[in-house]
Structure formats: structure tokens, C-alpha cells
């Protein structure tokens, strides 16, 4: 029986007696409502202007996001540029910081954009798709704001936009009752390890967020006391090496919510204070990738051309999925799924777009 269990061979979780609250037509209207409202409010809350983003960048410039460093990128040769290779972006973490400099965005202001990516190595399940859509944002900050309290201040602003959007959805669709707590709870990945040393990082998040409903896990990328990082993070955008007290490291993290439909932790955003020239070199050294300092982006950063900044990505489909109480990201976006997954979704009231 498939109900209320994860189908091992295709990593599909079927909630017990699942029935979508909104039909397909209502869902499409609600997706637009959420995206329009969230975008406007994020812009106002963080003082961001919209910019147009690239779908692909040139290989070898250091601009593309390497994620965990093992994922393949979708790439192609450009006929009219002598066969130079372009790569579909994985995210715009580094590109946005360059735009802060190139657009001369003043201190305290920033930019946001729609980021679309293709990630062929994603393990397809309820949350992960080949297609990624995010609001990518970046804000110019001062060197004095390079601290944990400022990061928390920004996280609370982003979270306030999410709660505001949740209430808008409730006004339009009263059956979608708000469930987010008034405050988001902060916890360091090292603290999670100390609380639940016998659990995996994912299981630690689930245990903690089940109690607090909305959390921000600080310190993603640095090794914990057990010698393993909580999760992977590229060495050249977020600062995960700076000490923040109690022997903990990291000026970055993830916003994670408790998803009552999937009964699990549900990440909607990765964000952080970006590397300084000093922390960039430390992180390149720590990951054995010091040769990257010769790439275009890294040279600009090390030469002092790029401003100090804080930024992140917020999953558009994931925000919609959470607020509309959907069981599968394919109920929000159009993508490609394994045939068996499609069949099992059809059998269990999960309407894939």
C-alpha cells in the first residue's frame, strides 16, 4: 500500500488521504497571486530593485555557482564565438554581487531577479525538480554589518514577507489557514549536532523544526565537531568560515519550515553574508580550490572591486507549494518526472501540471 509512506524506488512520499485544497484552475491563479505579492513585498522590505538576469554565463569565468562541486552543468558551444562554452546557471550568487558593483547600487539597497536553472543531477522527489526557479537577491552592506546579528535582522525581514504572503493567501482562500509562527527560531548547525548527535543533518532539522515550525539553521559548509559539514556550500559566495562565538563558524544558513503535508523539514531559502577577500582565500584553501583565485570573479573580489553584501535565493515553487499545501512540487511547476512517479501521483490525487 502506498499511502503515507515513501516509495523507495522513486523517492516519492504519498501523504495519507491526500486531497489538494485547490483545484488546478484555482492553483494557477494562486501561484500568480503569491509570486506577484511576494516579489513586491520582498523588494520593499529589503529595498531591492528588479534587474534582468542571464540564463547562461561563459564557462571559466568563475561566475557560475558550483553548488557542492560535483553536479554537472548544462552547457553548449556558441557557434558565433569560436566554440566558446556557455553554461546554464546553477544560481546567480556571484553574478548578483558583480551587478551591485556594475550598477553602482548604494549602501543599504540591492537588487533581485528571477533565476531559472536546469539541474540534471537532482534526485527527483516531492521537493526536487530538474527545473529550479528562485527569487535571487543581493543587498549592499557595510563592513560593520559583517556579523551574526545583522544576518538575523535580514532573515527576520525575509520571514516577515513570507508571513504576510501567507495571510494574503488566507484572505483569498480561507480554507488555507495560516500556520507559520510569529517568530522564526535561530539555531546553529553545531547546536543541532550537539542535540541530536545520532541523527543525520536532515533528521536533526526535522526534529528541531517539528517543535518550532520555522527555523534558520546557521553555519552551512564548515566542518562540525564530528568532522563533517551540516551540508555542502561552495567556497566562494557565502561566508561559512568566520567564527561567530562559542567556537561556532558561519555567517550563512537556511530558512526551514515544518511541512505538515509531507511531515518533514522543508527548506525554502539559502542565504548569507558573502565572503570578504580574506574569508574567500581561507575557504578556497580549506576546500583545496585555491586555483580559483585566478578566475575573473575571484580577481574582482580580491582586488576590492566588489562591495560587501548579503544575499540569497528563495524557491518560488517551494513557497507556492508550502502556502498552497501541495504534496509535490510538480503541482506548482511544469517539469519532467519518471513514468512510475507520474502514475503513482495520478493514483493518489496528486495533480501534476
**Cα–Cα nearest to 41, from 138, 141, 204, 160:** 160
Assess whether 267 carries a catalytic annotation: yes
Identified catalytic residue from 65, 66, 138, 236: 65
Instruction: Indicate the DSSP class of residue 321.
Output: H
DSSP state letters, 197-216: TTS-HHHHHHHHHHHHSEEE
Quote the cell numbers at residue 235.
567556497
Identified catalytic residue from 254, 283, 318, 333: 254
Assess whether 270 carries a catalytic annotation: yes
Assess whether 276 carries a catalytic annotation: no
Helix (H) or strand (E) holding 166: helix 148-172
Report d(CA 337, CA 324) in Å as an integer: 21
Judging by beta carbons within 10 Å of its beta carbon (0-12, 13-18, 19+), is residue 50 exposed, middle or buried? middle
Identified catalytic residue from 97, 119, 292, 325: 119
Assess whether 254 carries a catalytic annotation: yes
Identified catalytic residue from 166, 190, 239, 267: 267
Q: How far is CA 73 from the centre of its chain?
A: 18
Q: In 3-state terms, what secondary structure has residue 296?
A: helix
Instruction: Please report where in the chains the cell 540534471 appears, as a residue.
Output: 120
Identified catalytic residue from 189, 270, 279, 283: 270
Identified catalytic residue from 129, 134, 264, 279: 134
Long-range (24+ apart) CB contacts under 8 A made by 300-305 are 300/98, 300/101, 301/97, 301/275, 301/277, 302/277, 304/277, 305/101
With beta carbons less than 8 A apart as the criterion, state whether 106 and 141 touch. Answer: no
Report d(CA 27, CA 37) in Å as an integer: 15
Report d(CA 322, CA 215) in Å as an integer: 15
Which amino acids are annotated catalytic?
A: 65, 119, 134, 254, 267, 270
Amino acid at each position: 500500500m502506498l499511502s503515507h509512506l515513501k516509495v523507495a524506488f522513486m523517492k516519492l512520499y504519498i501523504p495519507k488521504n491526500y486531497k489538494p485544497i485547490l483545484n488546478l484552475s484555482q492553483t494557477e491563479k494562486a501561484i500568480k497571486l503569491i509570486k506577484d505579492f511576494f516579489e513586491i513585498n520582498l523588494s520593499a522590505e529589503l529595498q531591492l530593485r528588479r534587474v534582468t538576469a542571464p540564463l547562461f554565463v561563459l564557462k571559466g569565468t568563475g561566475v557560475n555557482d558550483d553548488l557542492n562541486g560535483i553536479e554537472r552543468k548544462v552547457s553548449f558551444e556558441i557557434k558565433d564565438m569560436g566554440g566558446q562554452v556557455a553554461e546554464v546557471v546553477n544560481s546567480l550568487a556571484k553574478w548578483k554581487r558583480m551587478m551591485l558593483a556594475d550598477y553602482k547600487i548604494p549602501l543599504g539597497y540591492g537588487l533581485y531577479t528571477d533565476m531559472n536553472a536546469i539541474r540534471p543531477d537532482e534526485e527527483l522527489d516531492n521537493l526536487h525538480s530538474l527545473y529550479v526557479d528562485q527569487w535571487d537577491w543581493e543587498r549592499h552592506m557595510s563592513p560593520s554589518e559583517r556579523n551574526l546579528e545583522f544576518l538575523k535582522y535580514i532573515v527576520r525581514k525575509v520571514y516577515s514577507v513570507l508571513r504576510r504572503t501567507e495571510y494574503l493567501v488566507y484572505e483569498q482562500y480561507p480554507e488555507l489557514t495560516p500556520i507559520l509562527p510569529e517568530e522564526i527560531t535561530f539555531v546553529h548547525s553545531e547546536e543541532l549536532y550537539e542535540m541530536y548527535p545520532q541523527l543525520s543533518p536532515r533528521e536533526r532539522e526535522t526534529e528541531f523544526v517539528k517543535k518550532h515550525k520555522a527555523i534558520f539553521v546557521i553555519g552551512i559548509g564548515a566542518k562540525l565537531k564530528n568532522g563533517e559539514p551540516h551540508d555542502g556550500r561552495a567556497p566562494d559566495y557565502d561566508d561559512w568560515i568566520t567564527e561567530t562565538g562559542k567556537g561556532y563558524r558561519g555567517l550563512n544558513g537556511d530558512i526551514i519550515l515544518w511541512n505538515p503535508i509531507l511531515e518533514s523539514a522543508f527548506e525554502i531559502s539559502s542565504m548569507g553574508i558573502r565572503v570578504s577577500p580574506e574569508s574567500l582565500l581561507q575557504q578556497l584553501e580549506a576546500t583545496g580550490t585555491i586555483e580559483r583565485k585566478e578566475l575573473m570573479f575571484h580577481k574582482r573580489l580580491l582586488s576590492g572591486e566588489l562591495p560587501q553584501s548579503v544575499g540569497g535565493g528563495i524557491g518560488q515553487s517551494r513557497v507556492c507549494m508550502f502556502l498552497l499545501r501541495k504534496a509535490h512540487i510538480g503541482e506548482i511547476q511544469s517539469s519532467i518526472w519518471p513514468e512510475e512517479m507520474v502514475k503513482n501521483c495520478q493514483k493518489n490525487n496528486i495533480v501534476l501540471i
